[in-house]
Amino acid sequence: MESTPRRRLNLTRTLPNPSRYAMSLEGELSHVAFSEERAPANKGLWRSEVFKVADEMPVDLEIGTGNGYHFSHRSLTVPERCIVGLELKYKPLIQGIRRAVKGGAKNAAICRFHAFNIDELFTEGEVNDVYIHFPDPWTSPKKPKNRIVNRNLLATLHRLQRPGSTLEFKTDSREMFLWALEEIAASPYKVLHQTLNLHASEYAAGNFVTFFESLFLRDGIEINYIKLRREG
């Protein structure tokens, strides 16, 4: 299978005018907020070195946390699991981890990291459940290669996840969702359930409304949702 090409990022270290958010990555939050250069040192060590928990402790992953409403909510309400967030933009990244830390969370860490480079961050079986909520849809004709839920990234995530874990994907973009369903069909994942209208479905009851989701709901947009299982 073709692997996803590595994506280059501008380095935090060499930003010409680093914002106070970018500075926080190397300052007061540096033990839980990692730049693209420091984050890979945690590979294989998330439980033992970053969270200092037993190997059995689940470590979940959220890709594209945005301002981290779901990320901080999970860390604060589910202390029996850890969570690692990936985000590209400094301001929402810092807002998310700050909210978790201020609430007393010891189980949350965040990385400025491109999702396509995920295998630089985790070893096989190091990740439990994965959340991908409202990734940028990249609907212009030449852009599907930028979509996060693609068969190459799915194959990578499947390898990194522990058997029995789940992957939850929500999007407002029907076009991208239908495209992603074909990618999912070509992946090793088992579909547990799916719907084209999450909030009119039985799955709405257990759903956490993310920041972007609240905006789409306000505009009456139906939310596409699928939950996958990484079989043993």
Place of tokens 């990022």: 9
Per-residue contact track with ligand SAM, 96 to 115, x per CB under 6 A? ------------------xx
Nearest residue to ligand SAM, scored by beta-carbon proximity? 66
Smaller CB distance to ligand SAM: residue 138 or 196? Answer: 138
- Residues 137 to 166: which contact ligand SAM by CB under 6 A? 148
Smaller CB distance to ligand SAM: residue 114 or 151? Answer: 114
Smaller CB distance to ligand SAM: residue 166 or 231? Answer: 166
| Whether the Cβ atoms of residue 167 and residue 160 lie closer than 8 Å to each other | no
CB of 16 vs ligand SAM, minimal distance in Å: 20
Going by C-alpha positions, the residue among 167, 161, 172, 160 that lies closest to residue 184 is 167
First to last CA, the chain: 20
Which residue out of 55, 119, 129, 136 is catalytically annotated? 136
Task: Give the Cα separation of 63 and 109 in Å (integer).
Answer: 12
- Residues 190 to 229: which contact ligand SAM by CB under 6 A? 210-213
From 21, 83, 94, 135, residue interacting with ligand SAM (rule: CB under 6 A)? 135
CB of 179 vs ligand SAM, minimal distance in Å: 16
Going by C-alpha positions, the residue among 101, 134, 106, 130 that lies closest to residue 118 is 130
Going by C-alpha positions, the residue among 153, 138, 133, 8 that lies closest to residue 67 is 133
- Residues 68 to 97: which contact ligand SAM by CB under 6 A? 86-89, 92
Active-site residue, 136 included: yes
Instruction: Reduce the DSSP state of residue 177 to 3 states and report it.
Output: helix
From 63, 82, 167, 228, residue interacting with ligand SAM (rule: CB under 6 A)? 63
| Whether the Cβ atoms of residue 154 and residue 181 lie closer than 8 Å to each other | no
CB of 69 vs ligand SAM, minimal distance in Å: 6
Q: Which residues pair with 191 in a beta bridge?
A: 228
Total residues interacting with ligand SAM, rule: CB under 6 A: 21
Kindly write down the DSSP assignment for every residue of 140-156, as one continuous string.
STT-GGG-SSSHHHHHH
Question: Which residues would be at the binding site for ligand SAM (CB under 6 A)?
Answer: 63-66, 86-89, 92, 114-116, 133-136, 148, 210-213
Active site residues: 136
